[in-house]
Amino acid sequence: MDDLLARVKQNLILSHSADDDLLSSFITAAVSYAESYQHISEGYYSEHPMPPTTEQAVIMLASHFYESRDGSTGGFFADNVQAGQQVWNTVNLLLRLDRDWKV
């Protein structure tokens, strides 16, 4: 989790630790979303390595949660009303690569 926290902070260009607890909660939510989307058991990534594509999706999603925590689009794409949807589309595309396809 500490490694993911460092990567999310790097992605956000964030050097202070004032929001580490908040970021950790967003990372937990993003990992939970990834596990659910990929049809794997809850807590799977606490015991197994996370593939790079899933890790990137988690970083992007946690960053999105942080940047839009006030309900706005926030961040780099703040001037684009479809930015939030673009983030979700990209995250889901990345997560699909490591999905456990079950019928």
Let me know if 12 is exposed, middle or buried by CB neighbors in 10 A (0-12, 13-18, 19+): middle
pLDDT of amino acid 83: 73
Pair 54, 38: CB distance under 8 Å: yes
**Sequence spans of domains, the chain:** 2-96
pLDDT of amino acid 68: 85
pLDDT of amino acid 79: 60
pLDDT of amino acid 87: 85
Taking the complete model, does pTM exceed 0.75, yes or no? yes
pLDDT of amino acid 82: 73
pLDDT for 42-94, tens place per residue? Answer: 999 999 999 999 999 999 999 999 988 766 655 555 566 677 788 888 998 99
Q: How far apart are CA 38 and CA 101, in angstroms?
A: 8
